[in-house]
Amino acid sequence: LHGNHCNYVITKHHFCPQKYKDIESTVKMEEVDGEELVKRFAEEMEGMLGRKMKSVKRLAEAAEDADLYHEFNATLQFDYYNSMTINSVDEEGNPVELGGEFPLEENEHFNKLAVNTQQSDIQVPTNVYNKDPNILNGVYMSEALNDVFLDNFQKDPTLTWQYFGSATGFFRLYPGIAWTPDENGVVTFDCRNRNWYIQAATSPKDIIIVVDISGSMKGLRLTIAKHTINTILDTLGENDFVNVIAYSDYVQYVEPCFKGTLVQADLDNREHFKLLVEELQVKGEGKVKKAMKESFKILNEAAARGQGSLCNQAIMLITDGAMEDYEDVFQEFNWPERRVTHTHTHTLTLTHTHTNTHTHTHTHSTVLQLGHPNSN
């Protein structure tokens, strides 16, 4: 009875006959060739994707050529349209620096936003100096993309936004718009933190984040450690796999359900990890060896089972200073004698953050043998 009730409530199948009777006089039944219909849809989809791919290819080639022929000039002076300051004037009515007149018109095709379909403009995060020599040179170099943006849009009017993200932090957007800061006048958007940028700039990877929650990590150090974890998680995309381990006297998974495995670093899992990391509390003495062994175990088992990214592997160790030497762990798991034919490289790097909190990174990368130098 309960099952029938659920079926009644969820499907509402009892309404179907009545609904059909209501529209029966206006409905025409027509027999179609399903195979021909699918074929036509496939051809239309292929044509649409083909046009999009050609547009992206033209942009990529133009960006590569512009970079190839550009010579860096440390003293370059160049005014560009900054999306934060366009059409802005000072108290005397003069255009502000990096401003100037930039015509904008509401456009139905672009969600009724006011845009300039003849010109791109530049967005720079508030924490990046907008006249840094690297920014100026990059913006000057990428001016070559304006004509390609416009040409792409003329060839394929179904295109919407086209953009170029730079490793220095600036973001060239077509059509140009006026960028609106938050209520504090701050622009936090950084193209380098977007999934499309991260996935294009990095290879897929398996990451084990290991965080020290021993007694010495109390206060500001734990706050910095949590922020570091969140930052690492924000750099991951859906092609990456991750897990987070905390250690003191013993090893604990921040999410016990993910014990001994890697999970896809999609948005839901990343946000779930952030919530759990925020609840971490310091206690006990740091026993890093156990955590490192557990991390290697996860990575090695994932690789053996053909799981994870099947590409790069890394261990991120976040601590204020390891109380014990774990070099023998690396000797056991990362530095054994290997034959020359093996296609794995192993490196250990060290970077510092505030209050002596530092990160050890173990990278386990796979060298791929490509069939053709121009493939992929």
Mean pLDDT of successive 10-residue stretches along the chain, which has 376 residues: 49 67 76 86 89 91 93 94 92 88 94 95 93 95 95 92 93 94 88 83 88 90 92 89 94 94 94 95 87 90 88 86 66 50 26 32 30 34
pLDDT at 34: 84
Residue 335 is predicted with a pLDDT of: 60
- Let me know if residue 134 belongs to a domain: yes
Residue 283 belongs to domain with CATH number: 3.40.50.410
Question: Which residue range forms the structural domain that includes residue 344?
Answer: 204-366
End position of a domain, from candidates 193, 227, 245:
193
Of 193, 217, 247, the residue at which a domain comes to its end is: 193
- In this prediction, residue 193 carries a pLDDT of 85
Helices and strands (DSSP H and E) totals, the chain: 10, 12
Same domain, 64 and 171: yes
Pick from 193, 212, 231: which residue ends a domain? 193
Does residue 221 share a domain with residue 158?
no
How is residue 25 annotated by DSSP?
A: G
β-partners of residue 348 are 362
pTM over 0.85: no
Kindly give, in sequence order, each residue whose CB lies less than 8 Å from that of residue 367, ignoring residues fewer than 6 positions away. Answer: 343, 344, 345
What ranges make up the beta strands (E) of 61-104? none
Question: How many structural domains comprise the chain?
Answer: 2
- Integer Cα distance of 222 and 224 in angstroms: 5
Question: Are residues 106 and 216 part of one domain?
Answer: no
188 with 208, same domain: the answer is no
Indicate if 186 and 215 belong to the same structural domain: no
Are residues 210 and 353 located together in one domain of the fold?
yes
Same domain, 187 and 282: no
- Looking at the fold, whether 209 and 176 belong to one and the same domain comes out as no
Question: Is there a single domain that holds both residue 361 and residue 218?
Answer: yes
pLDDT score at 370: 28
Question: Are residues 357 and 250 in contact, defined by beta-carbon separation less than 8 angstroms?
Answer: no
Same structural domain for residues 167 and 213? no
324 within a domain of the structure (yes/no)? yes
220 domain-assigned: yes
